[in-house]
Amino acid sequence: MDGSSETNEMQAELDSVEAELELVQLQITELLQKQAELTSRKNVLLERLGEACDSAQPSSSASSTESCGHVMSKQEMQHYDGTDFPWSKEVVWNLKELFKLSKFRPLQLRAINMTLSGKDLFLVMPTGRGKSLCYQLPAVCSKGFTLVITPLVSLMEDQIMYLQLINVPAAMLNASISKNNAKAVMAGITDPKSPFKLLYVTPEKIAKSKLLMSCLEKAYKAKLLSRIAVDEVHCCSQWGHDFRPDYKLLGILKRQFPKVPLLGLTATATSSVLKDCEKILCVQQPITLSASFNRTNLYYEVRIKDPDNEASICDIASLIKSRYQDQSGIVYVFSQKDAELVSSELQKRDILAYPYHANMDPDSKSRVHREWTANKIKVVVATVAFGMGIDKPDVRFVIHHTISKSIENYYQESGRAGRDDASADCIVFFGFSDIFRISTMVVMENVGQQKLLQMVDYCQNLDRCRRSLMAVHFDEVWDDEGCNQMCDTCCRVKDYSTVDITEHAKQVVQIMELAASMDEKLTPLKLVEAWMGKGPAKHRKTIKPTTLSRQQVEAVIVRMLLQGYLREDFSFTPYTTYFYMKLGRKAPLLKIQSHTLSMKMRITDGRSAVDTSDVKANEQDIDITFDPIVMKNGCLPQPRQKVFKEQRNQSRKQGLKPVSQTGKWREKAKKHLTDGHREEEEHQRGCIEVEVEVNIIDNTGVSDDGKAPSHQIKYCSKRKSATTQRVRRKACANVAALDISPTTPGGPAPALTVSSSPSQASIISDTAVKELCDLRNYYSKQLRRINYMSHEHLEQPTEPGVLACIREPLRSLWLPRRVTIGRMARSLWTRVSGRRKLVHDNIIV
Ligand SMILES: Nc1ncnc2c1ncn2[C@@H]1O[C@H](COP(=O)(O)OP(=O)(O)OP(=O)(O)O)[C@@H](O)[C@H]1O
């Protein structure tokens, strides 16, 4: 045997071993899933058995699962639910008379008794269950004051406002208070009369203020520091999703004040995060009390989001109008821009909705918050900035216009509904392209991608109780039966079937391989289009388009992503992150004859897919329509008919009025904003081509069309064709002229010779400077969306007299003689567009 055939044989064997290994890996994954299911079941049974034994033998001393560091028997634990402690009378009196509450919620009394007994404690309780009471009430029943570490000033202010309302003296120390106030608070710390019962500080204050630490030392010695409460304690751990570096330094508190009991509070910590917090805070064997995360009054539902943004907002509007008329709610969106857009669209549909996002000024934010709390505003359309400290009891719905970045986040955000214990709805609109919008955002986060895919899995799930899927993320087991039909999957009769998608997956792999052979990268949307026969001609020639509907196509691609047949691939530029699809680890398995891949897909029972008059859960049945008979063959059937929504969208699109060319600037600007949003979406598809037309005005003040110039930039955009892949946009800008000779529109371009730098006043008038700035702002926004290479191109001027870089400060501009800013911008833009087209044609299929 010669050397080369030996190598070939070894290579063949290696390939086969690798393929076998992949298969084993697949089996391991399946077994692990099975193991998780069985473990869940086992835990439920053990818990039930334990309860049965407890009630049969009251004297038994089963060890408690609630204590983590410190092992405490169940009986010992239950002892703390009692009201025979020296402080009990005072506690009960304060609950009723001061806090005006009739009874404790689960675990509140236990936590209060434990902390009043001097124990270190971690209290894990879902949002809105009343963690604050567990340190506020002990604070008023103790001598001295309680130190509360809170991550946000807004949270402190909220609490202080509430405490003032019920006449509990409280103070705070943060950058927003005056020097005199701070001085008075510092003095109060060591005052034996304790002018406040609670002192709120940020972790940064503990870490940085020596004066505060020395006052606390004195208070400790005088036994005035009764308790330390660390709110949002998960922020200590870098495994927690809200890690704050200064929380890491809080260990000093327990080291300096070892006899003061510490109470850590959180709504989201897993056991590993708590272990980390224990170490960071230097607490020895704290007791961990965990209340169940199951919010039984919340109804969870997932709906398929219409790919057309306008239609998706329309869906949300009709949902709010039909189901939550005059009720209070939150619509969570992905970006600040979405918050503005969605709220204005809801307003147009007579819904009292206002945006809330981090970029709003503090006054506007607090006005929206206040008016919403007072029910003057019905709906807040918010980014995640509308988060901690939102404590409105009667929120009847939380709708996610875009999925959350993780199940933990979703739990927190949706958990703002139904804090009054009355039933409320949590609805997610699940859209294919949203996965990738969020993906580019979380790519740099520790396990961000993994968490996002878990959220996607939650949304694509058709058969498992939504709460039980959530429970896994909180180290809990919630019994499916305990859902009480409070999620769409438990409500719905079994309307899905397991479908063999192997052949479809093979087609996807084929497209990916073809693209790779042409050295091309596919964005998820390009992959969808290529598979549906809508991509570039070179693809259409070689690959037979699928007969699946768009939603089926997207569902299969998502499943392949979740199962590891496809994976994400990112390309970073200084301005943006591009997302592409790649073949995943398991893709080679599809080459093996015996390998199959299946997924659950919804079937409808012959009822019209457009019938939305049924119960809540049936309202989303319009997504995929199959013929069940064909399904029996084990392959995906043809869609029975075009889905109603598509028709409705079509008619909506047709009903869109074109913006008048002569329309007012405000209308155009509005349209521009809407188009800007669409553009962002199109950009996700990697297929925008921008064309800019610049009206040149000579220095006599008359524009090309003979009209007097406006000093405002005008934008007008229109789609050239609704069917073409590429969207052409026109941005018209009227710009003031430079101090140069007039140009002939359409005539030969003047010779480009540098006259001088703009530092010479003769070149640019003030108005021109302003307009150039506006123009540059507008263009740089567009440019940011263009591939990095375009910038490189611009930043390396080879010829003199060319705009050096659009993003550089104005003083670096070198303008050629006899050229208006308008012409300059046009020439620049033409080059950028050309470059961009090149980039798209060559890189993005
Ligand atoms: N025992 C109780 N009975 C009725 N309402 C209660 C009780 N305890 C607390 N509440 C109310 O529950 C609401 C939420 O309480 P709180 O702000 O303490 O929750 P939280 O767990 O700290 O939430 P978050 O994690 O969002 O900070 C408050 O309006 C509070 O008055």
pLDDT 10s digits, 643-655:
333 433 433 433 3
Q: Is residue 255 part of a domain?
A: yes
Final residue in a domain of this structure, among 549, 569, 602: 602
Kindly give, in sequence order, each residue whose CB lies less than 8 Å from that of residue 683, ignoring residues fewer than 6 positions away: 785
- Per-residue pLDDT band for 75 (boundaries 50, 70, 90) equals confident
Query: pLDDT tens digits, residue range 191-245?
Result: 999 999 999 998 888 888 889 999 999 999 999 999 999 998 988 876 555 667 7
Q: How far is the CA of 758 from the centre of ligand 1 (A)?
A: 61
Ligand 1 neighbourhood includes 106 CB (under 6 angstroms): no
* Domain-embedded: residue 172: yes
- For the chain, the distance separating the N- and C-terminal CA atoms, rounded to the nearest angstrom, is 46
Predicted pLDDT of residue 377: 94
Task: Estimate the crossing angle of helix 210-221 against helix 179-190, to 10 degrees.
Answer: 20
- In the chain, the percentage of residues whose pLDDT exceeds 70 is 63
Instruction: Quick: pLDDT tens for 688-701.
Output: 222 222 222 233 33
* Domain co-membership, 122 together with 252: yes
State how far the Cα of 621 lies from the Cα of 638, in Å rounded to an integer. Answer: 17
- Per-residue confidence at 36, pLDDT binned at 50, 70, 90? low
Distance, CA 266 to ligand 1 centroid (Å)? 13
Tokens of 96: 């009723």
CA dist 833 to 117, 689, 823, 830, Å? 71, 7, 15, 5
For ligand 1, atom 25, the nearest C-alpha belongs to 127
Token duo for residue 168: 């509990």
Q: What is the ipTM of this complex?
A: 0.98
Q: Which atom of ligand 1 is nearest to the CA of 101?
A: 3
Task: Indicate whether 426 and 543 sit together in one domain.
Answer: no
Backbone angles phi, psi at 33, to 5 degrees: -65, -45
| Cβ of 105 less than 6 Å from ligand 1 | yes
The finding on whether 394 has its CB within 6 A of some atom of ligand 1 is no
Q: What is the Å distance from ligand 1's center to 126 Cα?
A: 10
Atom nearest to 95 CA in ligand 1: 1
Compute the half-sphere exposure of residue 485: CA atoms within 13 Å on the CB side of its CA: 6
Q: Which of 463, 492, 521 is the last residue of a domain?
A: 492
- Give the Cα separation of 819 and 751 in Å (integer): 9
The answer to whether the CB of 52 falls within 8 A of the CB of 60 is no
- 72 in any annotated domain: no
285 and 307 belong to one structural domain: no
**Residue 748 belongs to some domain of the structure:** no
Task: Kindly report which listed range (34-38, 97-101, 481-485) carries the lowest average pLDDT score.
Answer: 34-38
Determine the Cα–Cα distance for residues 334 and 681; give it in Å rounded to an integer.
Answer: 12
How much is the average pLDDT of 820-839?
Answer: 49
Name the residue with the closest Cα to ligand 1, atom 16: 130
Q: Note whether 435 and 558 are within 8 A (CB).
A: yes
Could you give the C-alpha distances from 94 to 112, 137, 166, 643, 676, in angstroms and in order? Answer: 12, 7, 11, 59, 55
CB-based contacts of 464, cutoff 8 Å, min separation 6 = 480, 489
* Number of domains into which the chain is organized: 3
289 — phi, psi (to 5°)?
A: -105, 125
- Residue minimizing CA distance to atom 12 of ligand 1: 130
> Is the pLDDT reported for residue 270 higher than 80?
no
- What is the pLDDT at residue 802? 38
Residue 232: closest CA among 335, 142, 175, 154:
154
In a domain, 568, yes or no: yes
Whether residue 396 sits in one domain with residue 284 = no
By the 8 A CB rule, do 295 and 126 touch? yes
Question: 427 C-alpha vs ligand 1 centroid, how far in Å?
Answer: 23
Q: Is the same domain home to 423 and 547?
A: no
In this structure, the residue with its CA closest to atom 23 of ligand 1 is 128
**CB of residue 687 inside a 6 A radius of ligand 1:** no
**Strand, coil or helix: 97:** helix
List the residue whose alpha carbon is closest to atom 14 of ligand 1: 128
Q: Is the pLDDT of residue 347 over 50?
A: yes
Do 481 and 508 lie in a common domain? no
**Does an H or E element contain 568, and which?**
strand 566-572
Q: Verify whether residue 221 is a known catalytic residue.
A: no
Token pair 């076998």 is found at 20
Residues 369 and 488 reside in one and the same domain: yes
| Residue 832 Cα to ligand 1 middle (Å) | 55
Query: Is any ligand 1 atom within 6 A of the Cβ of residue 129?
Result: yes
> Residues 481, 487, 488, CA angle at the centre, nearest 5°?
120
On whether the CB atoms of residues 291 and 126 are closer than 8 A, the answer is yes
Query: How far, in Å, from the CA of 336 to the mean position of ligand 1?
Result: 29
CA proximity to 22, closest of 595, 592, 589, 597: 589
Burial (CB count within 10 angstroms: exposed 0-12, middle 13-18, buried 19+), residue 702: middle
Distance CA 794, CA 783 (A): 11
Tell me the pLDDT band of 29, cut-offs 50, 70 and 90.
Answer: low
What pLDDT does residue 788 have?
33
Same domain, residue pair 283 and 194:
yes
**Is the C-beta atom of 390 inside 6 A of ligand 1?**
no
Q: Enumerate the β-bridge partners of residue 311.
A: none
| Residue carrying structure tokens 């995929």 | 624
pLDDT value for 749: 32
| Shared-domain flag, residues 236 and 258 | yes
Instruction: Assign 544 a pLDDT band (cuts: 50, 70, 90).
Output: confident
pLDDT reported for residue 412:
86
Is 205:239 a contact under the CB 8 Å cutoff?
Answer: no
Give me the amino acid identity at 805: C
Q: Which two tokens stand for residue 455?
A: 């959220």
Could you list the beta-strand ranges (E) of 204-307. Answer: 225-230, 262-266, 287-290, 298-304
128 C-alpha to center of ligand 1: Å?
A: 5
Asked if residue 248 and residue 145 are part of one domain, the reply reads yes
How far apart CA 655 and CA 556 sit, in angstroms, is 32
Indicate if 502 and 520 belong to the same structural domain.
yes
Is the CB of 112 within 6 Å of ligand 1? Answer: no
CA 98 vs CA 102, 131, 167, 169, 729: distances in Å: 11, 17, 8, 12, 62
Structure tokens belonging to residue 373: 């709390």
Angle at the Cα of 516 from the Cα atoms of 512 and 522, rounded to 5 degrees: 55
What is the value of pTM for the model shown? 0.58
Asked if residue 205 has its Cβ within 6 Å of ligand 1, the reply is no
Same domain assignment for residues 202 and 286: yes
Residue 248 token pair:
């890491």
Query: What is the whole-number distance in angstroms between the Cα of residue 201 and the centre of ligand 1?
Result: 20
User: What pLDDT is stored for residue 230 in this prediction?
Assistant: 95
What is the number of the ligand 1 atom nearest to the C-alpha of 266?
25
Kindly write down the DSSP assignment for every residue of 121-158, as one continuous string.
EEEE--TTS-STHHHHHHHHTSSSEEEEE-S-HHHHHH
The answer to whether the CB of 815 falls within 8 A of the CB of 824 is yes
Of 245, 261, 290, which residue is a domain's last?
290
Phi then psi for residue 546, to 5 deg, are -75, 155
Closest C-alpha residue for ligand 1 atom 26? 127
Q: How far apart are CA 99 and CA 280, in angstroms?
A: 33
Q: Which of 92, 99, 124, 133, when mutated, tests ligand 1's pocket best, judged by the most ligand atoms within 8 Å of its CB?
A: 133
Residue 73, burial from CB neighbour count under 10 angstroms (0-12, 13-18, 19+): middle
Residue 597 belongs to domain spanning: 498-602
155-193 per-position pLDDT tens digit: 888 889 889 999 999 999 987 788 899 999 999 999 999
Residue 156 has which token pair? 């402190």
Query: In the beta sheet, which residues pair with residue 582?
Result: 567
Q: Which atom of ligand 1 is closest in space to residue 125's alpha carbon?
A: 21
- Report which of residues 643 and 22 the model is more confident about: 22
Question: Which atom of ligand 1 sits closest to the CA of residue 393?
Answer: 29
Query: What is the position in ligand 1's atom list of the atom closest to the CA of 390?
Result: 26
Cβ of residue 524 lying under 6 Å from some atom of ligand 1: no
Residue 773, Ramachandran bin (φ over 0: left; ψ between -120 and 50: alpha; else beta)? alpha
Residue 156 resides in a domain = yes
Cα torsion 79, 82, 85, 87 to 10°: value is 130
Name which residue sits closest to atom 7 of ligand 1, judged by CA: 130
Please compute the mean of the pLDDT values over residues 487-498 and round it to a whole number.
85
The enclosing domain of 334 has a CATH number of: 3.40.50.300
In a domain, 40, yes or no: no
Dihedral sign of CA atoms 139, 142, 148, 154 in order: positive
Q: Is residue 193 part of a domain?
A: yes
**Catalytic-role residue among 131, 205, 521, 671:** 131
